[in-house]
Chains A and B, each alone.
Chain A
Amino acid sequence: MAALTTIDPITFEVIRNALVEVTEEMSVTLRRSAYSTNIKTRADFSCALFDRDLQTVAQAFAQANHLGSLAEMVPRIVKEYGPENLGPSDALLSNDPYRGGAHLNDLLLVSPVYHSGKIVAYVANLAHHVDVGGGAPASIGAFREVYQEGVIIPPVKLVAGGKIVPDTFNLVLSQVRAKDETAGDFRAQIAANATGGRRMAALIERYGVEVIAAYVAELTAYTDRRTAGELARLPHGRFAAEGCLDSDGFTDQPVRLVANVVIDADGVLFDLTGCDQQRRAPVNATFSQTFSACAYVLKCLIDPDIPVNVGFYRHVRVVAPAGTVVNAIHPAPVVGGWEVNSRLTDVILRALAPALPDRVPAGTKGMICHAGFGGVDPQTGSYYCFLETLGGGYGGRRGSDGPDAVQAHGQNTENAPVEETERNYPVRITRYELVDDSDGAGRWRGGLGLRRDYLFPDHAASFTILADRDRWGPGGLFGGGDGRLATYILNPDTDATPLGAKATVELEAGDIISYRTCGGGGYGPPHERDPELVLHDVQQGKVSPERAREVYRVAVDPVRWVVDETETVRLRGDGGRP
C-alpha cells in the first residue's frame, strides 16, 4: 500500500515536475484550440490535476483567481454525481455557483483518469465562456437573482465514452448567444482534459498507482511543511482594514468589506466577519471566490517556488459568514462576484500594510472591470458576443512606482488586440491609451489607468459595464494620494453622458462607450518624490507640469527639461530633498 513505498528524493523531484507538466500541456491544448478571444487570446482559464480522493495535486495557472474555484468545486460536483457513475473518457460539466462554483460564465469540465478499470486521478479545467445566456450579451449585468444571469448547469455529462452527449450539448447551446464560439470552446476544453488524461495515465503506467499515490502524499506533505515554515516567519498580530465597492448596481449604497487578518502560531486566519449582508444585486461572491482571494494573498506571502496543492490550501483559513457578500447563498446573483473578490484582495493587502510595509503595494485597480457587448452582426446576420476586462494602475511599492495599465491580483488576463477584435466583431476601438495624471501621487507613485473607446459604426448593440471605482479611487499608503477615479462615458466627444460603473446600455449605430480606468494609489508623501523622477514623468507626459507643481511640489522648466531647483526648494520648503 501507499505507506510501504519508500520515498526517494530524486524520484520525488522527477514526479513532481511531471505532475505539473500534465496541467501545462492541458493549458497549451486549451488555449491553442479555443475560439473565443477571451480564452484563446486573453487566457481566461486554468487547468488542474486531482488525486483519486479529489484533492488538488497540481495546477497550471493562467488565472490565479480560478485556483480556489477548482479546488472547491471539483470535489463537490464529483461527489454529488458519484464517481461510480463516471466511466473512462467521460467528462462532467457544471457552472453552478451554489455547488462550489463562481459566476455562471466559468464552466468547469472534469474528467476521471482510469487505470486498470479504476479511477486513479481527475483532470479538470475551468474556462470563462463569453456568454451563457441570461439578461444581457456576455451574461453580465445587474440582476436580482442568479436565474436571470444565464443557464445554470448542475453536474451533467458533456462527454460520455469520448463522445459529446448531444442532448447536453444542444440544451446548453440553445441557451447561449454566441453558439459557434461556445461550441468551439467546449471542444477545446474537452481536448485539454483528453490531453491531461493521457499524460497522467502514462505516468501511472510507468510508476504504478500506489507509487504515484505515495509520492503525491509526500508532495502535499512537502508543500504543507514549506508553507508552514514560511508562514511562521510572518509577524504576529491582528491586522484590520475596511473598504467598499462603490455601488451594487441598483443602489448607491456602498458595499462594505471588512478584513481581519490574524497571524499567530497557527498561521494566518482571514476573518471576514463584518462584511455586508448579501445584496439583491450582482455584487455577491460565492465562498470559492472569496477563498480564491485569500489564497492569492497567502501565496504572495510565501516562497513563489512552493508548488500549490492541497498541502497549501490547508493553510488558507477563511471565516466568511453565510449570507454575506463574501459567502452568498442561493438565489443571490453572483455575476459581479469577481469584483468583490478583487476588492477584497485589495482590502486584505491594506490590512497587512503595517505588518509588511516592504512587500505590500498601495491600492490597485482592485476591480475586474468588465466590458461586454453583443448584437446581431450586420455582415453575417448572426448573434455575436464579446467580453474583455481592462487593466488599470497598480499601487506604488516601497522603492518602486506602481506599473501603468496592468491587471491586478488574481486576475491576469491579456488585452484583446485591436486588430483581432475589429476583424472578428463589428466594433471599432477608437482609442487605447494611458490616462495622464491618473496616478495616485506618492514618493512612489501609482500606475496610470487606461482609456479604451468602443465605437459601433453600423449597428445597434447592447453594452454592459460591470466595474467599479467611480466613487472612490484606489487608496494611497503611508501618505500617498489615492488613484484617480474611473469613469464610464457615453459619446465622450459629442454629448458626453456619464454612465454608472454597473450599467447596461442600448446603443445605436455611431455610439461610443469610453472607459477610463482608475490609477493606482501612491506610496509615501508625494512631496518626498525624487524631483528627477517627477521631471521624467512630466517629460513623458504622464504627469502635467501643473500637477507636478501642485501635488509633487516640483517646478519643471519645460524648455530645458530640467528641474527648477530654486522654485522647487521654495515649493517644498524643505530644501527639496527626496
Chain B
Amino acid sequence: MTTRYRLGIDTGGTFTDATLIDEVTGNIAIAKVPSTPADPAVGFLAASDRILREQGVAPEHVGYLVHGTTVATNAVIEGNVAPTGLITTDGFRDMLEIARQVRPSLYDLRFEKPPPLVPRHRCIGIPERLDAQGRVVVPLAEEMVRQAGRRLREEGVGAIAVCFLHSYLNPDHERRAGELLREVFPEAVISLSCDVAPEFREYLRASTTVINAAVRPIVARYLSTIEEQLRAADFAAELLVMQSSGGVFTFAAAQEKPVFMVESGPAAGVMAATYLGGVLGHKDVISFDMGGTTAKAGLIHDGRPRVTKEYEVGVIARSTGGGAKGHGYPIRTPVVDLVEIGAGGGSIAWVDSGGVLRVGPHSAGADPGPACYGWGGTEPTITDANLVLGRLNPGFFLGGEIALDVDRAFRAIEDRCAKRLGRDVLTVANGIVEIANAAMTNALRLVSVQRGYDPRDFVLVAFGGAGPVHANWLATEAGIRTTLIPMSPGTTSALGLLVTDLQHDYSVALNQRADRLDAPRVERAYQELAEQGCAALRREGIDAADVRLLRQADMCYVGQSYELTMPLPNGIVDAGTLTAVLDAFHHAHDQAYGFSAPGEPAEFVNLRLTAIGTIAKPRLRDAPSRAGDDRSALKETRPVWFAEGGGFVDCPIFDRYRLAAGTVFAGPAIVEEPDSTTVIHPGFVARVDRYGNLLLTPDGGESR
C-alpha cells in the first residue's frame, strides 16, 4: 500500500487546515498553519509540508489530495480579477451595468450598486439574434466578432465571456463566435455561456459566464503553481478541488470552470455531515456549523445535500427572505444550500438605542477577539457569555492554547449590557446565549421548514468550534430529537474534503409542457448529458463501474418562474416515467407552498444530470471501548448555569478522549476536547457510539 494517505487542505481566512487520513488505520491527523492571503499557495504548501513532516509520511504515499479554497470568491470580492471582455448581442451590452435595476437597500439614499466586473468599454454588442424558439432572426456578423476580438486584444484583455440572447436554446452563434475570437486572439481565455450555464434569463447567465471568465486566469495560475511545486516535491496524487455543489473535480476541470468552485470551503462541512450521517445510517440530516463569525445550516435529504442555484457572490450573510437582491454578483451554478447568519462565537452583544439587548451582526473576529481573550477586546461576545455561564473551561480553550479571562468577560457584559438593562450579569449572559440561539434556530427552520421539510424527521450534525456548545438547545427548539457531535468538531469541515466524490454537473434547457413532451426526446437529451459526464470521469481515471448518474428535472407550472428540482429514476424515460415525475411534482409543490394545481399544465424547464465518480471513503476509526467509563473520563465538577436548573448547578465535566464507546450519561454535563465543548442540558442523555460520536437525545427517548 504505497498510496494509503489522503490529504485535505482547506484554506480559510485565518488558518489553513491540513487533514491527513490513513486509509489503513482510519487515523486522522490535523495541522494548522496561518493562511497567507497575499499568496495562498504559500500557506497551502506550508500546511501540506507540516503535516507530512509531523506524521512522517512521504509525499509519494499520498494518493489523493483535495483542496478547499476561496481564491475564486476572493478575487471577485476584492475586484482582483483578470481584465475581461464581454461579447453579447447588439443592443444588450449594458446587461451588467443595468443588472436587475434594483437598489440593494430600500431606505438608503446613499446606496451604491456593485460595480460591473467588466467595464462598459469592454462590453461589445455584435449584430446577431435568435428568437425565443432558438431560430436565427439575425445572422451572426462574423467580421464584427473578429473586430471585437482585435479590439479586446489591444485593450490588454486576458479573458472573454460570450453571452448571446437565447443561446441556451441554440449555441451555434456562441460557438462560432468562440472560433472567430480564437482566430484573431489565440491567447485569450474564452468562456461561452452555453458551456458554463446554459439556462434562460440572460443577466444571470451572463453574470455567471463573466465571473467564470474573469477568475479563470487567476485560478489557473494559482492551481498550476501548486501543482508544479507538489510535483517537484514528489507528489503523485490526483489533485482535486472542492466544488460549491459538494462534489470534487480535477485541477484541470477547475481551471476550465472555476465558477463551480466559488463556495468551495463551506460545502466541505455539509459533505462531512452527509458522510457522518451516512456511516450511521441517517440519510436525512441538518448540518450546523458554527465558527467565530457566522453560523451555517445546511440540509441533507436522502443522503444528498440540497443545492441551490440562487446565489450571489460577494454577499456575506444570507437568508432567503423577500428582500431586495443586488448586493453581489449572481451565479447560476449549483451551490450547497446554506443559510448563513451572523452569529458566531465572536458576535458582539449590545444594547440598542431603544434599550433592547441585541446580538450581532458585528463580530469581534480574531482581532481583537472576545473580551475574555485579553487581546484588547472590550465588547462582550457569545464566547464571553458562555464563559461566564461556566460552559467553557477558561484553562482548556483550544486545549489550553488561549487562557480565557473570566473577569474580563464578566466586566464586558456588565459595562456594555447589564448596567444599561438594569439586570444582573448572569441573566444577561444567559440572554445573550438565548438570543443567539433563537437566531440560529431560525436558520435551522429556514433551511428545513421553508424548503418544505419537517425538521423532526432529521438528525442534527453539529460541528465547528462553537456548534456543540449550542446544538442541544437548538435541536430541542427546532423539534429535532437526535443530535450528533462528531469527534474533533473543530476540524469536521476539513474532513469533508476527503469524503466526497468526483462530480460533474450538466444541464440543458428544455422549456416544454409536460403534456406535450416526447419521452424519447427527453431520453436522448439525458443520454447526451450522460455521455459528456462519463467521458469527463473516464478522463479522470474513474472505472465505469464506479460511475453513478443522477437525473433531475427543474419543473414549474406553466407561467411560474421558480422551479422545483425533481429526481428522475435511471433507466429509459418513457411516458410512464414522465407521469410519475409529474405526480411527484404536484406533491412537492403542495409540500413547498401549501397548494398544487393538478389541473394546470406543468413544464419541464431544464434537464439536469450529475455524473458522480464514486471514490472509496476512509473508514472511521473505532473509539476505544475499554478506555474507561464515565467515571474515569470525569475531569471535575464545576458550577454551570442552566436557566432550566434555576441558575448554577454542579455539573460533571468529561474528557472526550477518555469516553469509551457505549458510555451513557445524563445531562447536565459538559464534554471537553481541545477544539470544542459539548453542552448537554438537563433532561437529555448522551451516548458514545462505536466511533466516538456523541448522540444527544431527550431523556426517556430512544436515539433513532
Contact = CB atoms under 8 A, between A and B. Distances in A.
A36 B103 contact: no
A516 to B, nearest CB: 13
Contacts of B174: none
Contact of A40 (B107, B561, B589): B561
Interface in B171-201: 200-201
Given A303-B353, A450-B98, A40 B438 contact: no
Contact of B202 (A222, A223, A226, A418): A418
Interface string B551-572: 0000001011110000000000
Given A33-B560, A222-B354, A305-B352, A187 B102 contact: no
B94 A432 contact: yes
Given A180-B559, A450-B98, A397 B109 contact: yes
A187 B600 CA distance: 12
Contact of B356 (A12, A60, A300, A360): A12
A350 B91 CA distance: 35
A402 B120 CA distance: 17
A457 to B, nearest CB: 8
A359 B109 CA distance: 7
Contact of A226 (B107, B354, B559, B595): B354
Contact of B91 (A13, A47, A413, A433): A433
Interface in A176-192: 180-181, 184, 187-188, 190-191
A291 interface: no
A542 B120 contact: yes
Given A359-B110, A542-B120, A419 B166 contact: yes
Interface in B355-397: 355-359
B104 to A, nearest CB: 9
A407 B120 contact: no
Given A35-B560, A391-B98, A419-B132, A17 B442 contact: yes
Interface in B96-132: 97-98, 100-103, 105-113, 119-121, 131-132
Interface stretch (B315-323, B481-489, B529-537): B315-323
Nearest to B106: A64
A434 B353 contact: no
B165 A419 contact: yes
A566 interface: no
A390 B102 CA distance: 10
Contacts of B113: 403-404, 406
B450 interface: yes
Interface stretch (A22-30, A237-245, A318-326, A471-479): A22-30
B560 A540 contact: no
A541 B358 contact: no
Contact of A406 (B101, B320, B352, B423): B101
Contacts of A190: 595
B519 interface: no
B343 to A, nearest CB: 12
A557 B562 CA distance: 49
A97 to B, nearest CB: 24
Interface residues of A, number: 90
A304 B353 contact: no
A5 B445 CA distance: 28
Contact of B421 (A9, A33, A222, A412): A9
A21 B324 CA distance: 15
Interface string A427-469: 0101111100000000000000010010000000000000000
A540 B121 CA distance: 5
B700 interface: no
Contact of A420 (B94, B97, B131, B200): B200
B157 to A, nearest CB: 15
B321 A27 contact: yes
Nearest to A349: B109
Contacts, number: 221
Contacts of B511: 423
A548 interface: no
* Size category of the binding interface on chain B: 35 or more
Contacts of B304: none
Given A9-B431, A300-B107, A424-B559, A417 B202 contact: yes
A430 B91 contact: yes
B197 to A, nearest CB: 13
B58 interface: no
Contacts of B561: 34, 37, 40-41, 420
Given A43-B322, A417-B203, A191 B594 contact: yes
Contacts of A31: 322, 562
Contacts of A540: 119-121
A433 B201 contact: no
Contacts of A361: 109-110
Contact of A13 (B101, B112, B202, B435): B435
A259 interface: no
Given A32-B593, A184-B559, A403-B111, A413 B94 contact: no
Interface in B294-309: none
B94 A13 contact: no
Contacts of B202: 417-419
A263 B168 CA distance: 56
B354 A25 contact: no
B92 A433 contact: yes
A494 to B, nearest CB: 16
Contacts of A490: none
Nearest to B597: A187
B541 to A, nearest CB: 39
A60 B106 CA distance: 12
A187 B595 contact: yes
B450 A25 contact: yes
A559 interface: no
B593 A33 contact: yes
B450 A28 contact: yes
A300 B105 CA distance: 11
B33 interface: no
B435 to A, nearest CB: 5
B593 A415 contact: no
Given A419-B132, A540-B121, A405 B435 contact: no
Which of A28, A40, A407, A539: most chain B Cβ within 10 A?
A28
A422 interface: yes
A412 B600 contact: no
Which of B91, B438, B450, B559: most chain A Cβ within 10 A?
B559
A434 B98 contact: yes
A539 B322 contact: no
A60 B322 contact: yes
A306 B97 CA distance: 32
A47 to B, nearest CB: 7
Given A21-B442, A60-B321, A9 B593 contact: no
A29 B322 CA distance: 9
B132 A412 contact: no
B421 to A, nearest CB: 6
A114 interface: no
A14 interface: yes
Interface of B: 91-95, 97-98, 100-103, 105-113, 119-121, 131-132, 137, 165-166, 168, 200-204, 319-325, 352-359, 421, 423, 430-431, 434-435, 438-439, 442, 445, 450, 511, 557, 559-562, 589, 592-595, 597, 600
Chain A to chain B: the 5 pairs with minimum beta-carbon distance, closest first:
A27-B322, A10-B431, A391-B101, A24-B321, A431-B91
Interface of A: 9-10, 12-14, 16-18, 21, 24-37, 40-41, 43, 47, 60-62, 64, 180-181, 184, 187-188, 190-191, 194-195, 222-223, 225-226, 229, 296, 299-300, 303-306, 349, 359-361, 390-391, 394, 397, 399-400, 403-407, 412-415, 417-420, 422-424, 428, 430-434, 450, 453, 539-542
Given A34-B560, A226-B353, A299-B107, 7 more contacts: A16-B356, A359-B109, A403-B112, A405-B94, A405-B98, A419-B132, A419-B201
12 contacts: A13-B438, A24-B321, A31-B322, A35-B559, A62-B323, A391-B101, A414-B102, A420-B201, A422-B131, A422-B166, A434-B98, A434-B120
